Homo-oligomer: A and B are copies of this chain.
C-alpha cells in the first residue's frame, strides 16, 4: 500500500475528470489516496484532502463532468515552491505524486523528480497527459484534444450553414479558436468540409505568419463564387508584419486573442463587406454535449494505465499514447520520460499536415471518433432559380 497524491493542473478539458476517475478507480483498490486542491498552488501550500469514502464517491461522480473537479489553475511553481512541496510530501510520507496536465505540468513534474532526488527522497512521479491545444510532445495526441477538435469542426460546419442562409445580410464570419502557438484546433475546423463552397474558406495557423494579400484573395474568391466567406483563425496567429495579439496578461501569462477582430476590421475596410468576428470561446474545452466518445475512452484509459504503472514501479514518466502502424486505429500506452517531454516544448503542427490538410484529417478522424453525419450540398444540383 502506497500513499499517493494526485492533482490537476493547467486549463481544464471536457475529459480531465474522466482521467482522474480512471486513475482513482484503479489506484484506490490497493493504496491510500490524497487529493491536491488547485494544482501546484495546493501542492506548494499543502492543501490536500484524504480520500475518504465521501470524497471518493464525489470524485467518481465526475466521470462525465467538464472542468477539473479538484481545482486546477495556473501558479508560479518556482524552484523555492518546488523545494517546499517536496519537503512537505516527505513529511506526509507521500510515496507517489501524480498530476494530470499539459506541457507546463510535465516540466514541473520533471523538476519535482530532480528536487526529490536532490533531497534524497524516494518519490515516484507520474504524469497523465491532457491538452485541448494538442501541443504536448512525445505522444500521438492527448486526451481533451479530440473533444475540442470535434466541437470546433461541428461549430464551424453549423455556423457556415447559418451564415450562408444570411448571405444577403452578412457576408463574412471570422471564427477564432484556441490553440496557443499550435494550429491543431484551428485546422480541425475544416474536418467536415467536403466541397469548396462549404466553410471554412480560409484557415490561418500560428505556424505561418498571416499574409494579408493571401487572406484578401481567398475571401474575395469565396465571396465571388459562393456569396459568403468563413475564415478560421487560431488565437496565436500574427500578421506577417506584426505580433501576436494579447487579450490580457494574467499573472505574467499572456492570454492570446483578438486577431479575429483585427481581421474583421481589415475585411470591412478593404472589401466593404459586413464581417463579424466570433470567438468560439471556452465551450471548446468544456461543452459536454459534443465530447468525442473515443476521447472519453482514451482519457479514462490513460488514468488506469498510470495507476497500474505505480505498482510496476515506473517513475519520472508520462503516459504517452503511441499510434501503432496497424491499418485500423490502435493506441498503445507507453512511458515517455518527463525529461524528454519537457525538452520537446510546445509541439506545433508539422509541415506534412499544414501543407496537406487531407492527410491531417485522415489522422484526426479516429480521434474525433464518432460517426460522421454528412450534410447535403449547399444548393441542389442544377437548380435554376427563375427570375419572373
Interface residues, chain A, with chain B CB atoms under 8 Å away: 8, 11-12, 14, 37-39, 41-42, 45-50, 54-55, 57-59, 61-62, 64-69, 71-75, 88, 91-92, 154-155, 157-159, 161-170, 173, 247-248, 250-251, 255, 274, 276, 278-283, 285-290, 373, 375-377, 380-388
Q: Is the CB of A162 within 8 A of B282?
A: yes
Q: Is the CB of B67 within 8 A of A164?
A: yes
Q: Is the CB of A58 within 8 A of B279?
A: no
In the assembled complex, the Cα of A183 lies from the Cα of B169 at a distance in Å of: 24
In the assembled complex, the Cα of A130 lies from the Cα of B42 at a distance in Å of: 50
Contact of A67 among B55, B161, B287, B381 (CB under 8 A): B161
Chain B contacts of A381 at CB under 8 A?
54, 58
Number of copies: 2
Q: Is the CB of A281 within 8 A of B281?
A: yes
Q: Is the CB of B380 within 8 A of A55?
A: yes
Q: Is the CB of B49 within 8 A of A166?
A: no
Q: Is the CB of A162 within 8 A of B286?
A: yes
In the assembled complex, the Cα of A382 lies from the Cα of B165 at a distance in Å of: 53
Q: Is the CB of B380 within 8 A of A167?
A: no
Chain B contacts of A170 at CB under 8 A?
250
Q: Is the CB of A168 within 8 A of B71?
A: yes
Q: Is the CB of B168 within 8 A of A38?
A: yes
Contact of A73 among B50, B169, B251 (CB under 8 A): B169
In the assembled complex, the Cα of A245 lies from the Cα of B56 at a distance in Å of: 47
In the assembled complex, the Cα of A285 lies from the Cα of B282 at a distance in Å of: 17
Chain B contacts of A45 at CB under 8 A?
387
Chain B contacts of A286 at CB under 8 A?
158-159, 161-162
A-B contact pairs, 24 of them (CB 8 A): A8-B165, A11-B166, A45-B387, A46-B386, A48-B386, A49-B385, A55-B380, A66-B161, A66-B162, A67-B162, A67-B164, A68-B165, A72-B165, A73-B168, A74-B166, A74-B168, A158-B283, A158-B286, A158-B287, A161-B286, A162-B282, A278-B279, A289-B289, A289-B290
Q: Is the CB of B165 within 8 A of A65?
A: no
* Minimum distance in angstroms from A372 CB to a CB of chain B: 12
Chain B contacts of A288 at CB under 8 A?
154, 157-158
* Minimum distance in angstroms from A44 CB to a CB of chain B: 11
In the assembled complex, the Cα of A250 lies from the Cα of B278 at a distance in Å of: 17
In the assembled complex, the Cα of A289 lies from the Cα of B281 at a distance in Å of: 17
Q: Is the CB of A287 within 8 A of B155?
A: yes
Known: A91-B388, A169-B251, A289-B154. A58 touches B281 (CB 8 A): no
CB nearest neighbor in B for A37: B385
